[in-house]
Chain A
Amino acid sequence: MAAKHSAATKRDSRTATPALKGIGGQASTAEALELDRLIHERVRLGIVSALAVNGSLTFTDLKDLLGATDGNLSAHARKLEDAEYVTCTKSFDGRTPKTEYSLTDRGRSELERYLDHMEAIIRTTRDA
């Protein structure tokens, strides 16, 4: 897991996200607004991040991990599902219903794009 994340954070991101090119050291809120709002929200960012290093996680796993309520997690997961960032599989384990989430290729690439964006902001403001 750490290796994956390390790879994500240490990725050579000298090529700035298009949104950040031409900032010239002056990062403004305009750039921030160009972020993927869907991922930017904390619970949704947590869901996507957790799924990026696990093949899949159950609803209970995510709820414990993020400290979210059933309704809150359910609503955020639904938004990610609608955007095709995650897939949801419902099954029965004996008589117990089981909901499992996993990250789609699209969700993974959007998370990588988000990481690029964060790194670009840090680099640009540090160099300013």
Chain B
Amino acid sequence: MTLPARKIPDSRRPPVALHDRAMDNLKYIRDTMEASASFTHVSGIGGVMMGLITFVAAFAAGQADGPDPWVTIWLAAAALGLTTATVSMFLKSRAAGVPLLSGPGWKFAWTVSPPLFVGALLTIVFIQAGLIELLPGSWLLLYGAGVVTGGSYSVRPVPLMGALFMLLGATALFTPPAWGDAFMAAGFGGLHIVFGVVIWRNHGG
């Protein structure tokens, strides 16, 4: 049997051009700078504060007498939590001398926003349809989706936290509605505090 002839590597082939190597090096420097900037965006301290806000909200929601006050409490907690997260990210990036909305900052914001927008829209729909028992699961699931996608531009604990949020949300959708506050406390409270401490200690605040 005759084996097919192997092509002999062309020794006259020119080496990689200096120009290409230089371009590649500059791209590597730019990519590294952009990727490293994402470290400054997610604040562990902010996460802990959001967790504490959630615990207070979960306690208050448990005392609420009716769906309207219950929804109001959680929406107020969500607004306060989002404000806390934004301010803490701004303070952390300012302390590092890095603009909050640089390349990775925009990517983070754009990837987090769609699931949060869907969450806001579904909240209105579910309230109008009288399906508020679906809210805890939906909120956890969509917030988790946003954190997973946005977290791809951040340190490793962030997308992991998002995945756990999604897991809790999915579970909440298939369990008795009465457990809703407990799932909210475990997710928005517990996960935020645990991962907030991890980010705070390992990733600069």
Residue of A nearest to B37 (CB): A1
Q: List 5 A-B contacts (CB under 8 A).
A: A45-B25, A53-B36, A54-B40, A55-B95, A61-B203
Q: Is the CB of B33 within 8 A of A1?
A: yes
Give chain B residues whose Cβ lies under 8 Å from the Cβ of A93.
201
Contact with B along A42-62 (1 / 0, CB 8 A): 100110011011111110110
Residue of B17, B33, B34, B95 contacting most chain A CB atoms (<10 Å) = B33
Q: Is the CB of A121 within 8 A of B18?
A: yes
A contact residues vs B (CB 8 Å cutoff): 1-5, 9, 27-29, 31-32, 40, 42, 45-46, 49-50, 52-58, 60-61, 64-66, 93-94, 96, 115, 118-119, 121-122, 125-126
Contacting A at CB under 8 A, from B188-205, are 201-204
How many A-B residue contacts, CB cutoff 8 Å? Answer: 106
The 5 closest A-B pairs by CB, nearest first: A50-B36, A125-B19, A1-B37, A121-B22, A49-B32
Give chain B residues whose Cβ lies under 8 Å from the Cβ of A126.
19
Report Cα–Cα, A111/B172, bound state, in Å: 51
> B23 at the A/B interface (Cβ < 8 Å)?
yes
Q: Is the CB of B98 within 8 A of A53?
A: yes
A40: min CB distance to chain B, Å? 8
Report Cα–Cα, A10/B25, bound state, in Å: 15
Q: Is the CB of B28 within 8 A of A65?
A: no
Quick one: which of A9, A31, A54 contacts B26, CB cutoff 8 A?
A9
Contacting A at CB under 8 A, from B148-205, are 155-156, 201-204
> B4 at the A/B interface (Cβ < 8 Å)?
no
